[in-house]
């Protein structure tokens, strides 16, 4: 039995000959010959021995924490004024949208509100999330690939954008998300 992954969601696809068993969204749908099709309610499948298990990112996530560090690892001021508000949604068919902002009601004089939103088609391989942007609050992102490292800490997803220049320094961010809906 050959095993592959469904794109984006991380659950396995198992092939037996020309027949396919799909696992998605807590349902197992199988087609083992031209005369039988079945749908079975189930939990997500468990990994096989030696299997690389990739958590699903499908669903809606709320931003719970954002950190910034300099190249030496020293803490920098918290992104989004220390009061980040955000949502990101990933669909099973490969679309995503993200909105993140500084949620402070009032900002200090001379400080502008940090805000970012974008959407597009994405791919996820268990370690890297790549979104081809087709709409964004920053027009320079449109048509670009937004690449994020991805890891899980328990039930939380941590996305790591590439380092960014802040004046003469470089800043490394980590954005931590908690799933609030699975669809």
Round to whole Å and give the CA distance between 39 and 145.
36
The whole-number pLDDT of residue 51 equals 57
The answer to whether 129 and 118 are in contact (CB under 8 A) is no
**Continuous segment of H or E residues that includes residue 169:** strand 169-181
168 phi/psi in degrees, rounded to 5: -90, 0
State the pLDDT at residue 165.
Answer: 87
Query: What residues of the chain score a pLDDT lower than 70?
Result: 1-53
Give the Cα separation of 33 and 172 in Å (integer).
51
Give residue 52's pLDDT.
57
Phi, psi dihedrals of residue 36, rounded to the nearest 5°: -135, 135
Q: Which of 156, 158, 153 is nearest to 180 (CA)?
A: 156
Query: Token pair of 68, please?
Result: 């910034």
Task: For the chain, list the domains and their CATH numbers.
Answer: 2-41 (no CATH), 59-181 (2.40.128)
């Amino acid at each position: 039995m050959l095993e592959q992954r469904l794109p984006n969601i991380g659950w396995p696809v198992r092939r037996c000959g020309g027949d396919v068993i799909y696992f998605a969204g807590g349902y197992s749908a199988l087609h083992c010959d031209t005369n039988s099709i079945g749908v079975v309610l189930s939990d997500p499948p468990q990994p096989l021995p030696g299997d690389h298990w990739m958590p699903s990112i499908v669903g809606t996530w709320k931003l719970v924490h954002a950190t910034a560090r300099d190249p030496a690892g020293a803490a920098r001021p918290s992104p989004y004024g220390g009061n980040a508000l955000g949502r990101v949604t990933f669909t099973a068919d490969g679309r995503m949208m993200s909105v993140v902002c500084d949620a402070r009601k009032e900002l200090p004089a001379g400080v502008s509100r940090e805000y970012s939103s974008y959407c597009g088609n994405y791919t996820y391989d268990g370690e890297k999330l790549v979104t081809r942007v087709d709409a964004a609050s920053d027009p320079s992102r449109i048509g670009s690939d937004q690449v994020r490292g991805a890891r899980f800490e328990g039930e939380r997803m941590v996305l790591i954008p590439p380092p960014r220049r802040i004046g003469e320094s470089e800043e490394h961010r980590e954005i931590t998300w908690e799933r609030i809906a699975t669809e």
